[in-house]
A and B are shown apart, each in its own frame.
Chain A
């Protein structure tokens, strides 16, 4: 998790987060969640075989709350988000499971109906705002396009709306900037424009796929602030995908840690960051530099590399990299995939007993976190 070294305000202390997110609605019991993903499996067929990019993923996103999905590259975070909108390559992808959005099943929904949802009720922001915006049309035109498509507004109303949205996301002189092209904007401004574009139809769910990864740290903090403010204002549910635990600490109410296409740990941001219970989460946390504690605490990266999703290891996919596989008796970690047992939204997919988890965390892991 080297990429998080440049974040300053993102130690998983949870102080800022509790203050800022106090107004968020309480978590419901999950069954009638706004977005509910159940046992999602996304398999690609490639020349080398079937890639199990997502393998039995379940999560919920509630209205007005933010679920952060965190994991290494290739853990299936982005694939899951693209699948929600049906933006995967339909010919090469096999999808199983359920994606229910506001009571409607999205996986079986025909493309035509999905299109009406995209950008209108569910919208998306991407990692690199330069390549995610068309270079051939003005920023205003690209914002207005969505508004006209979904709300049937005429050209001048949509243009006025684009100016309003640019103003809303904090772009100075929106009346002139609306006619600029993306290459006239700086990186942070482009991401603001992207956010304006995604929120122009006042969607209920915003999927943010690494929205701050391509930005420098100060701009990153501004964009996160903006997203939080807009969430308060619009009550949008946010699915926030990142590899950066610091960003998660600032943004999310709930966290889902993904590994090799599965969820390995789930809980509120406080629970997961202050009291993590999965060896992989421990690895992620202890590989982050701790700027508030001693500077000479060594970083402890997760050893090894993520498994190939073509042939994932049997049993727990994390066992080849796990330091505690031997603590569990017998061959269970190597043969039996652990299930994510949920109680009140908190869960860990690990064979370690609750006592072992607690003991190892206090003895081995916490000292590294400072």
Chain B
């Protein structure tokens, strides 16, 4: 990583984390997303026995995936899968806010022109700003997932549920799909940030990237989409393509001249 990219990352973090509210959000949101499934599992563990529960309301596609599990475990996994999406969303939320502000914020404070007057290349600038946004979100997610896994035995989760959460579907979702989505979201937010003049507009427009994830969430709730390894791999492949396209587009659409001369 070049010195200039490291400098931009350091600068972004120094600026962002000076704001105590941002720091609070970075810590609070992932902790909340971690606590929610734990609370749910804790309250369910007493109520759901090995053969408790009724599978008839379960989406058929999902029920087929529950072969070998008790109805109670199946119910827990079904609900946990929705929380898996929260873990995938976790590395997006904070980075989107940081990235959405990063270019338009510099326009607003008039610090962008001196920055662009340095020998930094567009790719270095975007890489620095992108990584500065992605890294805290992904790190917070990984830490929270670690905490989540560590606390699972304390909320009375059975071996098979524990194995499921530490199995390939969850690991692919949290360790691969989530960070890939964060990269896509940040690049999208940077594109938006470099093309609007108001930080609020940038933030609002950037959150559009969450819509596909919400579609997956509702699809999963409705039983249309089943979150299994195959579907996760397909999703990862799509995200890789989207990441490459958005990184390429971001660099192409970041036009220094337009940014400097069209903005008043």
Do the two chains belong together in a single complex?
Answer: no
* A interface residues, Cβ below 8 angstroms from B: none
